Structure 1
Amino acid sequence: MSSFIKALQERRANVWEQAKELLDTAESEKRDLTAEEEAKYQAFNADLDKIDQRAKDLVEAEQRTKDAEAAFAGLLAKPEEPGARKGQEKDSELRRWARGEMRGVDIAKPEGVSFRDLTKGSATAGGNTVPTTFYGQLMAHLIEVSGVMQAGPTVLNTSSGETIEIPVTTAHSSAALTAEAAPLTESDPAFAKRTLGAYKYGVLLQASTELLTDTGVDLEGYLAMQAGRALGNAFGVHAITGDGSSKPTGVITSATTGKTGGTGVAGAFTADDLIDLYYSVIAPYRNSTSAGWLMRDATLAAARKLKDSQGQYLWQPSIQVGAPDTLLGKPVHTDPNVAAAATTAKSVAFGDFSQYFVRLAGGVRFERSDDYAFNSDLVTFRAIIRADGLLVDQTGAVKVFVGAAT
């Protein structure tokens, strides 16, 4: 496996070098890419995306194998004790429910402090020794399809869905030079009060009786993947562009403008625009480990072409499989719900995404029905979560690039 991964890394580096050669040739000749060169460049970008996806699949497959080996090793290493089944009760309960022996089941967040780092490089730090719960699998798939959830927001898990009042910073205090014995000028921070609710997101899943009775099917993995991706896609739209009216408030909606593009370029950005956007975010947020970029895939393809004044590419491919690429040294997260580059469009966001709060109320509610699709011999499952989102520091923790209006 290691030799294959090394070959994958070398192939990725080779593809990027070929893409750079196209761009450098056009730049040296002071012209744009020809139609043929543009087609080749887009093909190189597609190859990079495919290699990244393959690397991601390998990491996930290796993680699942190690989790399974660790779980079996733990079971075989010691006899079962009276209290040992407590952690397995939900799993067996889930299987009884899937077989139709129970009507519904709540998959709550695991008890106690059980925070696990879902970044790709965490497995070697001990993550491989911890079996993945059903809740953990579902949340991993939810994060997988939502750019905001990948970017590292602050997640608040609550057991119930009552409204939470959050103070939102709208202005900071400021100091001033003061003469001896002169009175100090009062400067209080400005706050607004916002609420985090619990909006309901749900999905129906249907599976044939044959699928459920097949002992070779990874039932938990199948349900976790399908439900997690569906719920992540639904919540992800509002986490980006929600207006706060009977839905979460999106991070792009709340972010302030850090840079407006030039005229006559149909909303496109330049290297200088992204550099200006980067430095429009103040140092404490810019230097945070949660700071990063958020844009859609097509926008990232354009950003890969940009160079700084020294001729260095702003975009730097990762040298480690599974680790994110960087733009000006910060990780890039993609989400299809971010607007495409266009006039007045907010097409790129940069800042500290830990200042975006995501509230998850309760766990995940699963219910099944044998009657809903009785004539098709399908079993119907219903998955429901309750969530909300809000950018709590609106003084400029996250800023956006806006295409010029004219």
Structure 2
Amino acid sequence: MSSHIKALQERRANIWEQAKALLDTAEGESRNLSAEEEKTYQALNADLDRIDARAKQLLEAEQRNKDAEDAFTQLLAKPAEARQQPDEHESELRRWARGEMRGINIAPPGGVSFRDLVKGTATAGGNTVPTTFYGRLIAHLIEVSGLMMAGPTVLNTASGETIEIPVTTAHSTATLTAEAAPLNESDPTFAKRTLGAYKYSVLLQASSELLTDTGVDLEGYLSMQAGRALGNAFGAHAITGSGTGQPTGVITSASTGKTGGTGAGGAFTADDLIDLFFSVIAPYRNSTSCGWLMRDATLGAARKLKDLQGQYLWQPSIQVGVPDTLLGKPVHTDPNVAAVALAAKSVAFGDFSQYFVRMVGGVRFERSDDYAFNSDLTTFRAIIRADGLLVDQTGAVKVFAGGAS
């Protein structure tokens, strides 16, 4: 880890101590934060968010440099004739971008797969995973969607026919049975839901100069622009989609674990979050994909809360790249989660691996030199087909809902 990243980490810890001091002072005097203190607290929170973003950028830059060094090491170790052979996918992508090919399909590696999206941290094996164009695009798609970062289960299929998924709505129950007495039957209750293939698309434009300059990272440019645009579009539906003509959002399907008190304007207390935490049963709480999902402003409010022992529920991470925790579970933020308000579902908690994301095929890219001919721009379009559904609706994910009045 570079000295600059360590300095950021130390600065982050110092800012959090300043924020805690403000809160502790107000609590010790049995009062709320004054207007000036609230302004300072919000500024400190903004500093925390900026440091997090900067640390992430630096960490990614270090990883890119390491990947490049590893690539050069491998190239130098190869015979000269082997180094002269261009990478098949890179060559195909550049020929398509120059107009030598009409369209290109960037398929996920390995055909049909059923897995979690997370590949692990760099030190836990991420460095051994080669970065393909598909992988880079999906990485950008994930980074703009809090739900995709939370670890849903992803089903990659080659074709887009409707898939019927059994959804668990109630589990079997056992009963105490006397000797020689008949056993009571208790079957789990299932409903049947479908995973379709909704189309998400984006148009990208690039100048001819950009495409012909050899120093341009074409893969990086296209994967970043397309991934973020598609991630924003699908990510919104993955949170609050209605399920009619669009994916079913996790908030839409989740049951209510805790409802706030009246007269609080929809705000939650420390006890509310603790109750929400324990409303999700232990098997789901113990999952590696269990965590919190809320928007940034809501997280700002959660950072102020303490338990009965005076300990803050929120604890900053002491390791770069590892998320902060709330009651020991990672916190993911997404702007599509509702803000704190009356009857609003502003916080979700549970096992997000029970949310299934269906991705069809790969990413379809096509180009046109005619669409913006008068501007000397080349137009690209990127298309994915996807759907989402919470398959375990027995309480794997629950939400906090603000009081009705």
TM-score (norm 1): 0.96
What's the offset of the Cα at 1:78? 1.2
**Alignment partner, residue 98 of structure 2:** 99
In structure 1, distance between residues paired with 2:74 and 2:101? 29
In structure 2, distance between residues paired with 1:238 and 1:95? 33
- In the superposition, relative to structure 1, how do residues 44 and 84 fare at CA in structure 2: closer, same or farther (>3 Å)? same
- The 8 Å contact of residues 120 and 322 in structure 1, kept in 2 or not, is answered as no
Partner-residue secondary structure (3-state), 1:39: helix
What's the offset of the Cα at 1:82? 8.0
Q: Deviations over 1:18-63 (max 9, x none)?
A: 0000000000000000000000000000000000001100111111
- The 8 Å contact of residues 70 and 129 in structure 1, kept in 2 or not, is answered as no
Partner-residue secondary structure (3-state), 1:336: coil
- The 8 Å contact of residues 143 and 232 in structure 1, kept in 2 or not, is answered as yes
Partner-residue secondary structure (3-state), 2:190: strand
- In the superposition, relative to structure 1, how do residues 126 and 117 fare at CA in structure 2: closer, same or farther (>3 Å)? farther
Asked if residue 6 in structure 1 is aligned to residue 17 in structure 2, the reply is: no
In structure 1, distance between residues paired with 2:116 and 2:59? 14
Q: Which amino acid aligns with 2:269?
A: T
In structure 2, distance between residues paired with 1:132 and 1:45? 34
**Alignment partner, residue 243 of structure 2:** 244
Q: Which amino acid aligns with 2:13?
A: A
Give the 5 Å matches for 1:151-230.
151-230=150-229
Q: Which moved more, 1:141-150 or 1:107-116?
A: 107-116
- The 8 Å contact of residues 121 and 322 in structure 1, kept in 2 or not, is answered as no
**Alignment partner, residue 139 of structure 1:** 138
Q: Deviations over 1:314-357 (max 9, x none)?
A: 00000001210000000000000000010110000000000000
**Alignment partner, residue 59 of structure 1:** 59
What's the offset of the Cα at 1:121? 6.4
**Alignment partner, residue 358 of structure 2:** 359
- In the superposition, relative to structure 1, how do residues 23 and 121 fare at CA in structure 2: closer, same or farther (>3 Å)? farther
Asked if residue 345 in structure 1 is aligned to residue 344 in structure 2, the reply is: yes
In structure 2, distance between residues paired with 1:129 and 1:355? 27
**Alignment partner, residue 43 of structure 1:** 43
Give the share of equivalent positions with the same residue, in percent.
83
In structure 1, distance between residues paired with 2:30 and 2:361? 58
In structure 2, distance between residues paired with 1:352 and 1:162? 27
- In the superposition, relative to structure 1, how do residues 25 and 107 fare at CA in structure 2: closer, same or farther (>3 Å)? same
In structure 2, distance between residues paired with 1:246 and 1:379? 31
In structure 2, distance between residues paired with 1:116 and 1:219? 29
- The 8 Å contact of residues 291 and 352 in structure 1, kept in 2 or not, is answered as yes
- In the superposition, relative to structure 1, how do residues 44 and 321 fare at CA in structure 2: closer, same or farther (>3 Å)? same
Output the aligned Cα RMSD: 2.0
Q: Deviations over 1:255-282 (max 9, x none)?
A: 0000000110100000000000000000
In structure 2, distance between residues paired with 1:258 and 1:351? 10
Partner-residue secondary structure (3-state), 1:302: helix
Q: Deviations over 1:47-88 (max 9, x none)?
A: 0000000110011111111112212221221127889969x3
- In the superposition, relative to structure 1, how do residues 163 and 83 fare at CA in structure 2: closer, same or farther (>3 Å)? farther
Partner-residue secondary structure (3-state), 2:140: helix
- In the superposition, relative to structure 1, how do residues 188 and 369 fare at CA in structure 2: closer, same or farther (>3 Å)? same
Q: Deviations over 1:275-303 (max 9, x none)?
A: 00000000000111110000000000000
- In the superposition, relative to structure 1, how do residues 113 and 11 fare at CA in structure 2: closer, same or farther (>3 Å)? farther
Q: Which runs of 4+ in 1 moved over 4 A?
A: 80-86, 112-121
In structure 2, distance between residues paired with 1:35 and 1:228? 40
In structure 1, distance between residues paired with 2:119 and 2:318? 13
What's the offset of the Cα at 1:179? 1.6
- The 8 Å contact of residues 121 and 323 in structure 1, kept in 2 or not, is answered as no
**Alignment partner, residue 401 of structure 1:** 400
Asked if residue 22 in structure 1 is aligned to residue 22 in structure 2, the reply is: yes
In structure 2, distance between residues paired with 1:170 and 1:289? 22
Give the 5 Å matches for 1:72-111.
72-79=72-79, 88-111=87-110
Question: Where do 5+ consecutive residues of structure 2 fail to align?
Answer: none
Partner-residue secondary structure (3-state), 1:140: helix
Q: Which amino acid aligns with 1:52?
A: D
TM-score (norm 2): 0.96
In structure 2, distance between residues paired with 1:348 and 1:260? 11
**Alignment partner, residue 310 of structure 1:** 309
What's the offset of the Cα at 1:110? 1.6
- In the superposition, relative to structure 1, how do residues 250 and 85 fare at CA in structure 2: closer, same or farther (>3 Å)? farther
Partner-residue secondary structure (3-state), 1:148: helix
- In the superposition, relative to structure 1, how do residues 18 and 191 fare at CA in structure 2: closer, same or farther (>3 Å)? same
Partner-residue secondary structure (3-state), 1:124: helix
Q: Deviations over 1:117-166 (max 9, x none)?
A: 97696212332244311101000000000011000000000111111110
Q: Which moved more, 1:292-301 or 1:119-128?
A: 119-128
What's the offset of the Cα at 1:233? 0.2
In structure 2, distance between residues paired with 1:60 and 1:17? 27
**Alignment partner, residue 260 of structure 1:** 259
- In the superposition, relative to structure 1, how do residues 120 and 52 fare at CA in structure 2: closer, same or farther (>3 Å)? farther
